[in-house]
Chains A and B, each alone.
Chain A
Amino acid sequence: MTSVSMPESRTAARRTMPAVDWVLALALLAVGGAVVRALLYTPADAMLGAVQRILYIHVPSAIQGMYVACTIMAVCGGLYLWIKDERLDRIAESAAEVGFVFLTVVLATGSIWGKSSWGTAWAWEPRLTSALFLWFVVLSYLILRDALENREARARLSAVLGVLALLLVPFIHMTVYLFRGLHPEPLALKPGKPDMSAEMLSTFLIANVAFMFFFFALVRVRYQWATVRDARAALEQA
């Protein structure tokens, strides 16, 4: 039995979820600004030409989708297994879904860049294959959550999978050092100075900040929606 009636719940949902999310709108503006800077005010690479500008969406998407989303999935999942707070499960779920979108962008833009620079859209080389494997692991995380009816079991099993997904990330990062393949070594996430001109580096950093803002704005909206969804499900059960 609950003390919250359905109309009250609708009012609460509208208060929690405004029709226009201003944080997301600001994040979109930031990403738009970074894209304009990348396309119009940053020089093209002398060897690869204009296609090198894909770097400013490919790498920030990879950082958010691989490093940030998987870390949130694993940390929140691990903490959920320990303290059983449903908010942690919702944060992990939201980060996984948004991270999956970013990983899809990484694979798509990487294929387009590869087609131009390597002459092939896909090669079964270590970095690409391991990134695709992570994409499937995150997809299976989302499918697993959808398949399980019991909320406690869903949260517990997906938390375990989230922790396991993070184990892949250092391996994917190291593939370019451990194996010989087509994918170049990191330009920025490496010991020493980045291999870029000052203009390219500033655009790259701006794009990273903008994409991080965009990622967290999306996770925020997704989390709010999950909170309202779970509250409604609890009400309906009661």
Chain B
Amino acid sequence: MSIARHDSTARQDNTALQVNTALQDSTARQDSTAQVPAPVAPRTGPPDTSYYMKLGYIVAGVIFFAYIALLMRRVATVRKAP
């Protein structure tokens, strides 16, 4: 019962949103004095993927430096051995 009521409310909200958007569009189209800003798509560039770039470089650095540390430890062991 309550789920059905929830669905119906959601449907009404969605319809209201569609009507509102349509009204805004028609207002913008009919506005010859340009008082209502026309819907303009924002400028798009490449996606912000700098997080993945940084992660990639950090992971590679950790792997390489871990191996260099292992090599240095082996060298130190050999140099200290009697």
Contacts and interface: CB of A to CB of B under 8 A. Distances in A.
Contacts of A26: none
B6 interface: no
Interface in B37-82: 45-50, 52-53, 55-57, 59-60, 63-64, 67-68, 71, 74-76, 78-79, 81-82
Summarize B's interface: helix, strand, loop or mixed: helix
A11 B49 CA distance: 52
Nearest to A228: B78
Nearest to A17: B75
B67 A218 contact: yes
B82 A112 contact: no
Given A10-B82, A225-B78, A61 B60 contact: yes
A159 interface: no
Contacts of A221: 71, 75
Contact of B59 (A21, A28, A108, A228): A108
Interface in B19-34: none
Contacts of A35: 57
A134 B49 CA distance: 29
Interface residues of B, number: 25
Contacts of B81: 10, 13, 232
Contacts, number: 98
Interface in A12-57: 13-14, 17, 19, 21, 24, 28, 35, 39, 44-54, 57
A202 interface: no
A108 B67 CA distance: 15
Summarize A's interface: helix, strand, loop or mixed: helix
A51 B78 contact: no
A112 B56 contact: yes
A49 B47 contact: yes
B71 A105 contact: no
Contacts of B59: 105, 108-109, 112
Contacts of B47: 48-49
A17 B64 contact: no
A17 to B, nearest CB: 5
A227 to B, nearest CB: 10
Q: Which 3 A-B pairs have the closest CB atoms?
A: A51-B49, A49-B46, A116-B52
Interface of B: 45-50, 52-53, 55-57, 59-60, 63-64, 67-68, 71, 74-76, 78-79, 81-82
Given A45-B46, A47-B46, A50-B46, 9 more contacts: A10-B82, A13-B78, A48-B49, A49-B46, A54-B53, A54-B56, A57-B60, A218-B68, A225-B74
27 contacts: A17-B79, A19-B75, A21-B75, A47-B46, A48-B47, A50-B48, A50-B50, A50-B52, A51-B52, A51-B53, A53-B53, A54-B56, A57-B60, A58-B56, A101-B63, A108-B56, A108-B59, A108-B63, A109-B56, A109-B59, A112-B59, A115-B52, A117-B49, A218-B67, A218-B71, A221-B71, A221-B75
